[in-house]
Each structure stands twice: as C-alpha cells, then as structure tokens.
Chain A
C-alpha cells in the first residue's frame, strides 16, 4: 500500500488541505476530495480539454497533473468565475450567445478563454479558434463559442 501524503493548496483564493495517494490526479482531488465538481472529466488523457483549470494563472489539463504536484500552488477552477449569483462577463457572453448546449465541455472552455483573454484582450477570430483548438465540444459546432468569446472580449474591455 502506497502511503498518502499531506498537501496544501489554494483554489479560487481559498486554502485547502488534503491527504492524497501520489496517483491521485488533480481533477479527481478537486472533484472527489474538495467536492468542487464544476471541473469535468472527459477523456482523462489530455485530449478533450474538459478538465482545463488555471495553475498559477496558466491553463493546464488537470487530468495530466497529480494532486501532489500542485502542493503549494494556486489554482482557479470554474467555481472561481462568478461572484455569488453575479455571472462573470465570460459566462454572461456564453449564456447570451449559445456558447453551450449540453454544457459538459463548458467549464474547461471558460477557463481556457479566461487565460486567453488575459493575454490577448482583443483577439481576431483566427486567434480565438486557435485558442479553442484544445477544447472539444460535440454540440455547438463552435460558431456560438467563437461568437461568445468575441462578445466576452468586448464586455471585458468596456467593464474597466
């Protein structure tokens, strides 16, 4: 039996601690141990992007990290976007522009877009498509998602 280890990290500004086996993936730790079930698990081997979160500000696949590797780090998951019942501008844009249908891929896409718009606040459509290329959606056909990102960029630009 492999011994469990203590880890401590921050998720959405809040401190958490836990005991994990080394093989516990970060996404399982978030969902099963911290009960932060907003982050979804799709393919579980880094292809679909559903589990995308931010690790120290950068978008990563949380199925390709072990929780133990995130010891001492700061994460942001989809639960960190809205302020209470007030949706984040990116979420509003997706809501208003058919940026989701079944919603399974949406948490990963929102986190990808959050990191992307931080870096590139006024992207072209080509840049948006490239940024989304690591997140699979099987419902929308992507047109609504691309439009949502465009609208989100405008919302964020006029917010400040």
Chain B
C-alpha cells in the first residue's frame, strides 16, 4: 500500500527540526532511517500529518570517545557502527548486537537514534542500552535532558519523549577491564524480529569471581528487561555450568512473554533460558581470555 499524504520538511539544523516538531505537536513525526516508520505508514498503521526529515542534519552523525565513554550521534547509520573499530573496542556488546538488525539494506539506512527511540520490544539496541546503563540525550524546545535507558523504555513503542523533543545522542559508559559480553537471539529467519534475545556482560575480579553482571532480555515483554534476581545469583560467585543453569532457569521464571503467531509463551521462556545459558558461557570465556 501507499502511505497517506503528509507535509514534509527537511531542516538542516537541530534547532529548526525541534521548532517544526514543536509546532506540529502530536501530528508530527521524525523521519530518520525510516526503516520502521515507512512500513508503518505504508500499512497505514501510522498517518503523520508532517514528517520532519532529519537526514540532512549531518552534525547528528558521529561516533566518538569521551573520557572512556562512547558517544554516538542519533543519525549515525547502523552500518557505520557495524564497521567501526572504535565501537568494537569501546563497546563490544553493541558491536555484536548490530548485525542482528534486519539486513544490510536496512542497516545502510537505519539509524542508531531511530531504533532506540522507536522502542520496539523486539529491537536489539534498546536491550543493549538497558544492559549497559546507557544515557539517552534528548533536546527539545525547553533545552536538553538526559535519561537513563531504563527510564526511557515505558512500554511497547512508548517512551517519555515529548512533542518537539529529539533523541540526539546515546552515551555508553566506559567498558570495564576483565570483562566479556555476548548478544544472542533466535528468530524465524535471519533479520526477522527476535522471538527472544539476550544481552549479557560479566566482569571478573582478580580472584576470578563474577562482578557487575548484566542480563537483559529482549522480545519477551513490553520493554527490554534486566533480570535483577538472575544477576544476584551471579554476583561474587565463580563462573560454572551449574551456576549458569540455575541463572537460566531464574530468567525463564522471571519473564512473562506472550504467545503470538510465531511462538507460544512457553517456548519463548524456554528459548530465553537456553540463550541466557549460552550467552553466560560465552561471556565468561571471553572475560577470562581478555584478562
């Protein structure tokens, strides 16, 4: 189908984009990569009156390191992140997760800010942002504010972004020493939405005990979900298969996935547990190797 008619502006500055969005109120929508929005418009699930195309605001596309943290501009294409040596060294979990997004064609257009702000529960990067406690920087008519990823994801496609506000940057905290990570997901075909996915990062203290464990599930609830009870089981312990089995069962217990046409809730629980176990093994191996 064809999208319904809309007005279109393509401002060259963030200030002008914010102005246009603020004026349009609820009727305006930001067009970034368009890889989710345009399909929704074609299916008439979205009918914005105004599209504010931010693709000409080149200043919003960058990847840089600041005091050990990784800052990525919202308009940076997913494909750039996938190819970035800086991302690979400064945020390996993000580097590992990006290729799971759609296909090359999609990542050539899709942006970092777009997938973060769209807040699809099955999307990879919101899970990475929550796992790593990333900061999301918004700018709007009343200035700038920064939200933690965990505060940002309210429900399916729902965030605290207000009319006139634009997500302009994401900041991933410095990557810790002696740590390893893993991102895994299962989908019907490569590039499809995940049935379940997991982002894991573990660090080791000098005695080899697990520190600061992060386990975040995607696609099994309305938002990415850190599983605190599962993380508690890991903290201060030595890595091992028996422990990881226990943590995986805890994850299966804690989540509340819904059945849909692709899989039953029970199956998703099972897959989430299996993925968690695999990701924990991989992450702990990697943490040991990188010591």
Q: How far apart sit A44 and B1, CA to CA, in the bound complex (Å)?
A: 7
Interface 0/1 of A31-69, CB less than 8 Å to B: 000000000000011110100100100111101111011
> Pick the contact of B2 from A25, A49, A68, A115 — CB < 8 Å?
A25
Interface 0/1 of B98-135, CB less than 8 Å to A: 00001111101100000000000000000000000000
- Are the C-beta atoms of B189 and A45 separated by less than 8 Å? no
Q: How far apart sit A47 and B40, CA to CA, in the bound complex (Å)?
A: 12
- Are the C-beta atoms of B8 and A46 separated by less than 8 Å? no
Q: How far apart sit A59 and B34, CA to CA, in the bound complex (Å)?
A: 15
Q: Which residue of A has the minimal Cβ distance to B108?
A: A58
Q: Determine the chain B residues whose CB is within 8 A of the CB of A61 once the complex forms.
A: 35, 105-106, 109
Q: How far apart sit A55 and B33, CA to CA, in the bound complex (Å)?
A: 13
Known contacts A63-B42, A64-B34; is A112 also within 8 Å of B105 by CB? yes
Which residues of A, 121-135, contact B by the 8 Å Cβ criterion? 130-131, 133-134
Q: Determine the chain A residues whose CB is within 8 A of the CB of B191 once the complex forms.
A: 133-134
User: Does B38 count as interface, using CB distance less than 8 angstroms?
Assistant: yes
Q: How far apart sit A55 and B53, CA to CA, in the bound complex (Å)?
A: 17
Interface 0/1 of B42-63, CB less than 8 Å to A: 1100000001010100000000
Known contacts A133-B103, A133-B190; is A58 also within 8 Å of B79 by CB? yes
User: Does B174 count as interface, using CB distance less than 8 angstroms?
Assistant: no
Q: Which of B38, B53, B105 has the most CB of A within 10 A?
A: B105
Q: How many residues of A contact B (CB 8 A)?
A: 31
- Are the C-beta atoms of B7 and A64 separated by less than 8 Å? no
User: Does B3 count as interface, using CB distance less than 8 angstroms?
Assistant: yes
Q: Determine the chain B residues whose CB is within 8 A of the CB of A115 once the complex forms.
A: 104
Known contacts A45-B42, A58-B79; is A68 also within 8 Å of B105 by CB? no
Which residues of B, 1-47, contact A by the 8 Å Cβ criterion? 1-8, 10, 31, 34-35, 38-39, 42-43
Distance in angstroms from B232 CB to nearest chain A CB is: 38
Interface size class of B (residues with CB under 8 A): 20 to 34
- Are the C-beta atoms of B43 and A134 separated by less than 8 Å? no
User: Does A138 count as interface, using CB distance less than 8 angstroms?
Assistant: no
Distance in angstroms from A107 CB to nearest chain B CB is: 14
- Are the C-beta atoms of A64 and B35 separated by less than 8 Å? yes
Q: How far apart sit A61 and B106, CA to CA, in the bound complex (Å)?
A: 7
Q: How far apart sit A52 and B5, CA to CA, in the bound complex (Å)?
A: 24
Known contacts A46-B35, A46-B39; is A134 also within 8 Å of B3 by CB? no
Q: Which residue of B has the minimal Cβ distance to A59?
A: B105
Q: How far apart sit A115 and B31, CA to CA, in the bound complex (Å)?
A: 25
Q: Which of A46, A58, A59, A65 has the most CB of B within 10 A?
A: A46
Interface residues of A, Cβ cutoff 8 Å to B: 2, 5, 21-23, 25, 28, 44-47, 49, 52, 55, 58-61, 63-66, 68-69, 112, 115-116, 130-131, 133-134
15 A-B pairs within 8 Å (CB atoms) are namely A2-B6, A23-B4, A23-B5, A25-B38, A49-B103, A59-B104, A59-B105, A61-B35, A64-B39, A65-B38, A68-B10, A112-B105, A130-B190, A133-B190, A134-B105
Interface contacts beyond A47-B39, A58-B79: sample of 20 additional A-B pairs, CB < 8 Å, sorted by A: A2-B6, A23-B3, A25-B2, A25-B3, A45-B42, A46-B38, A49-B103, A49-B105, A59-B104, A59-B108, A61-B109, A64-B39, A65-B34, A65-B38, A66-B38, A69-B53, A69-B55, A112-B105, A133-B103, A133-B191
